[in-house]
Structure 1
Amino acid sequence: MASRPVRIFAEQAGRPVVMGRRGAVASGHPLASLAGLEILQRGGSAVDAAVAVAAALNVVEPHMSGLGGDLFALVYEGGSGRVYAVNGTGPAPRAATIDRFAQGIPERGPLSASVPGALSGWIVMLERWGRLDLASVLGPAIRLASGGFPVSHNLSAYLEAHQPLLAEFDTSRRVFLPGGAPPRPGQVLIQRDLARTFELLARDGHDAFYRGPVGQEIARACTAAGGLLDEDSLNAFRAEVVEPLSISYRGYQVFAPPPNSSAHVLLQELLMFSCFEPARYRPLSAELIHLMVEIKKLAFADREAYNGDPRFSGPLPDFLLSSEYARQRVQLIDPERARAEVPAGAEREGDTTYFAVADRDGNVVSVTASINMAFGSGFVAGSTGVLLNNRMTYWHLDPGHPNALQPGKRVRHTISPALMLSDTHALAIGTPGSDGQVQTIFQVLVHVLDYGLALQAAIELPRWRSFAPGHESNWPHGERDELHVEGRMPNQTIEGLQARGHRVVRLGKWGPIGSCQAVAVDLAGCVFQAAADPRSDAYALAW
């Protein structure tokens, strides 16, 4: 991807950037990326391939996303030059009220599940931008689920760590703990119930899930186990196409989904960083990371004050994405000291997955999908093979908060895909990581656009993630005040951050903090570049 600034230092990536002339896919698992490439090679659009990737990830990366979860997507139409956002996030069940959860919302189990929106998001995208039928697009996932796939070291470790959760429910135990134990690396995992569900969806589409046999079984199993996800809640849902948010940054137009996504935080971070001269700071220096962390804190404070479902609380205030407001906010930053308390601003008068796909016609899709925490609710709904989300844990139970729980309302999401356009280039980028998503993307974009790093090198650089009191998505909020850094971060940087008052927690060499994937397109030359994060099973392919 072309970059405007002069390269300040060289950083050799451990993986190559994958390049091609006809299309590219980057996702959280090689078999899912291969599913997307197969669809592109059969003449499918970027959206066809993206849905194939999403379905395949449900099978091979079940702890991150799937039919039981949600998504936000950004779609760039190569022909029209327009960008659209797709909101595939489901609302709270109709019986979910603050009074019902007076003792708190359970973190796991069927009561933690909201309406799954992902399948509806897939269908809405295919209806508008797809070329192939649903059966063709779901074909790779059906084969992987029915025939099985080798469990990766990463998935095996997740299954081992979450064995007690999965063992709580008979349906989950049968799927993910065959023989009573987590599959070892290389052992084949078969999901026949999920394969049958995909086959039903391939035949009957949206209605099979939200009004037909799949939805009926989900509702039956969930309510029988004490959950609130019923048929009426499923019947009422359909994903929608909405206008994205956007700002200008370093010669690019940066697009992100609107609330109930938290992606506006990334846009605010970039606007605030644009108030500074990057040449004054060296990459990975304490001075630069301190500045970016303090910017992050300011943007998160605004999220807490203003972000909610716009159907209930109104749209995001316009001033949050103005350059004038960004200049006002950065005046609060002390270059030598970390802030412990960060106020929200006001207008002055006067575990998730990410994937990106691009096709030969210049269409680009950027998707973040999630069941919230690893393995979501932990509850597989009856005979469907569908692992339900635990997104209810993000609701506030204070009636005056913009993210306060109401029946039929969509919760504030951390899902934050991004898409960037210039006259000659497009870039789709994102990562899993809950509140870390907008922090990881911020770091990668600054290193690419402000410091001239190649895309893969920027993804592999050591990362940080900030935790601040009152800023976490889960309710009640955590009170950690910590700055996590990967172990490859220079000692001098860590010492400089500590001297500024940051409580630094040093992780392993590769964290992991996030798992960033990206696809870049030279629109004029029709050259595709794809990059994938070595912190996970992620893999990039191009042709």
Structure 2
Amino acid sequence: MRDFHLPGRSPVLATSGMCATSHPLAAQTAIETLKAGGNAMDAAIAGAVLLGICEPQMTGIGGDCFVLWSTPDGGIQAMNGSGRAPAALDAATLRAQGHSTVPIHSPHAVTVPGAMDAFCTLSDRVGTLGIDRLLAPAIHYADAGVPVAPRVAFDWINDADTLQDGARTHFLHDGAVPKAGQIFRAPGQARVLEQVAKHGRDAFYTGEIADDMIAALTAKGGVHTAEDFASTACTDTTPISGPYKGIDLVEHPPNGTGATANLMLNILAHFDIAAMDPMGTARAHIEAEAAKLAYDARNRFLGDADYTTRLDHMMSPDTAARLAALIDPNKAMAAPAPLSEQVHKDTIYICVVDRDGMAVSLIYSIFHGFGSGIASEKYGILFQNRGAGFTLEDGHPNELKGGKRPMHTIIPGMLAQDGKPFMPFGVMGGAYQPNGHARLVSNIVDFDMDPQTAIDAPRAFSDAGNMKVERGYTDAVRADLSDLGHDVSIPDTAIGGAQAIQIRDDGVLEGASDPRKDGCALGY
């Protein structure tokens, strides 16, 4: 039990249904969807699409998603809703133009949005209410407007310079960044969602809406075609998983980076983490070293599923054992070779559990803050820049090629025990996500933290040679980490955000939501 003398959040407890996400209106919408007879998938889709209006710097219908969900037999299924590079684009073309990386605010960084196809497919296949009912809340709020939340306003200021040309009209107020409490409206997106509600996914990927998107991209020099949009299709995938002290961490397979979290936990299993101070130097150091090694493997091996050939090697306990032996408890190793591709930074996450026990773990993103900064002229559809997640290195598994999916940082998670899923969860924060998954699992397993406490706990992340240590750690820990050879800093922005719902053995649902974001857990 938390100390009620100190600031903090209590877990949210309910029995009939629960949602945890990063904005209260989306959580409320998910609960209303459940009360209207929808299942967890319906509620997750309804809440996720609304988050594109509530947190437009983080996500939107110009982005991608990944989804895990549980089935009545205790299984877990996965859907890849990430888009592909246009068929006419490849790394050789950009190399010939003198580029060493994909320009992050160019149309070449724009992969075809995949989320809308996934939402429509999952609504038809798994949901019960129909896509028209699920899009109704987002249509309403896109027209009526949403007050800008404090964390959203903070991010908006940091990312507004990304917005180009017509995007500035759609996402600024007379050229100015909206302040907390000001109303943001997206009437163009409302019209798009109305057409999808009436006519399904084809209304988005063909016809007038697709033409609007293609025109905006080709005007900037993009090579996207009507066929690229019309052929977009989500993909059923098989989840991957690995054990950590009796708990199974279930992740989405490549092109997501969930295997990185599994490898990190396999490395950490070689150390007595539970004997360490959870907020102390030793744990932060060992975790940082494990992250360096796991992320180095990610950088070498992961990309589009059709090009990732060494996943089994990355998931192997033998690989983890060899890597763990490289860690010196008394000295920081050098950072892994930097990626040429981009791996940062913005996303939303939503999890829902319904009265029948279906658990949905859904993550949805436009990659960088305000994505590519390019929006379609008429409807204001803001495009992700997920194609900047490709490398231009010749022959690399993640090399940019037409029709290929880039490596993704966004990863939904699920915990299971004895073959039974018991906690959908996610940790936002770009490159931090695999580290965040491993840390959350370790907080729960090694230190017996409840989900809210595990999420609240301070975070550290060794990222590209810099050891970011939140203010929740003591100055003494930061000094000790510096003495071990880490280049320590306090990040300007809190590291990531997280949401989780535990399905307890007594049937009670326990929701947890990160105070680093504006959201909450709600149940009924």
Cα distance, 1:320–1:180 mapped onto 2, change above 3 Å: closer
Equivalent runs, 1:8-407 vs 2, <5 Å: 14-77=8-71, 79-102=72-95, 103-104=98-99, 105-166=102-163, 168-170=164-166, 172-311=167-306, 313-340=307-334, 342=336, 351-407=346-402
C-alpha deviations, 1:370-399, integer Å up to 9, x for none?
Answer: 101000011111212211001121111111
**Structure 1 unaligned regions, length at least 5:** 1-6, 345-350, 469-480
SS in 1 for 2:20: strand
- Partner of 1:462 in structure 2? 458
C-alpha deviations, 1:291-334, integer Å up to 9, x for none?
Answer: 111111111111111112122x2444313212222222101111
Equivalent runs, 1:434-449 vs 2, <5 Å: 434-449=430-445
Q: For residue 224 of structure 1, what is the amino acid of its counterpart?
A: A
SS in 1 for 2:468: strand
Work out the CA distance in 1 between the residues paired with 2:480 and 2:216: 54
Work out the CA distance in 1 between the residues paired with 2:315 and 2:448: 25
Assess if the C-alpha contact under 8 Å between 1:26 and 1:540 holds in 2: yes
What is the CA distance between 1:491 and its match in structure 2?
2.1
Assess if the C-alpha contact under 8 Å between 1:92 and 1:406 holds in 2: yes
Deviates more, 1:426-435 or 1:356-365: 426-435
Q: For residue 279 of structure 1, what is the amino acid of its counterpart?
A: A
What is the CA distance between 1:137 and its match in structure 2?
0.6
C-alpha deviations, 1:38-91, integer Å up to 9, x for none?
Answer: 1111111111011001110011101111110111111111x1111011101101
User: Pairwise CA RMSD of aligned residues?
Assistant: 2.0
SS in 2 for 1:336: coil
SS in 1 for 2:118: helix
Q: Does 1:528 align with 2:499?
A: no
What is the CA distance between 1:434 and its match in structure 2?
1.1
Q: For residue 483 of structure 1, what is the amino acid of its counterpart?
A: M
Q: For residue 376 of structure 1, what is the amino acid of its counterpart?
A: G
Assess if the C-alpha contact under 8 Å between 2:302 and 2:311 holds in 1: no
Assess if the C-alpha contact under 8 Å between 1:73 and 1:367 holds in 2: yes
C-alpha deviations, 1:495-520, integer Å up to 9, x for none?
Answer: 22111111110236xx4100111111
* Deviation beyond 6 Å, 4+ runs, structure 1: 9-13
Q: For residue 94 of structure 1, what is the amino acid of its counterpart?
A: A
- Partner of 2:467 in structure 1? 483
Q: Does 1:517 align with 2:499?
A: yes
Cα distance, 1:316–1:206 mapped onto 2, change above 3 Å: farther
Work out the CA distance in 1 between the residues paired with 2:388 and 2:370: 14
What TM-score, normalized by structure 2, do the two folds share? 0.94
Assess if the C-alpha contact under 8 Å between 1:59 and 1:144 holds in 2: yes
SS in 2 for 1:332: coil
Cα distance, 1:343–1:218 mapped onto 2, change above 3 Å: closer
What is the CA distance between 1:335 and its match in structure 2?
0.7
What TM-score, normalized by structure 1, do the two folds share? 0.90
**Structure 2 unaligned regions, length at least 5:** 339-345
What is the CA distance between 1:216 and its match in structure 2?
2.3
SS in 1 for 2:511: strand
Q: Does 1:430 align with 2:413?
A: no
SS in 2 for 1:162: helix
Work out the CA distance in 2 between the residues paired with 1:323 and 1:247: 9
C-alpha deviations, 1:166-220, integer Å up to 9, x for none?
Answer: 2x312x1222112222222212111110100000010111111122332222112
Assess if the C-alpha contact under 8 Å between 1:352 and 1:433 holds in 2: yes
Q: Does 1:504 align with 2:485?
A: no
Q: For residue 122 of structure 2, what is the amino acid of its counterpart?
A: M
Work out the CA distance in 2 between the residues paired with 1:227 and 1:62: 23
Work out the CA distance in 2 between the residues paired with 1:100 and 1:425: 45
Cα distance, 1:87–1:400 mapped onto 2, change above 3 Å: same
Deviates more, 1:41-50 or 1:317-326: 317-326
Work out the CA distance in 1 between the residues paired with 2:379 and 2:491: 38
What is the CA distance between 1:20 and its match in structure 2?
0.4
Assess if the C-alpha contact under 8 Å between 1:12 and 1:457 holds in 2: no
Work out the CA distance in 2 between the residues paired with 1:427 and 1:154: 26
Number of aligned residues: 511
Work out the CA distance in 1 between the residues paired with 2:148 and 2:182: 6
Cα distance, 1:294–1:13 mapped onto 2, change above 3 Å: farther
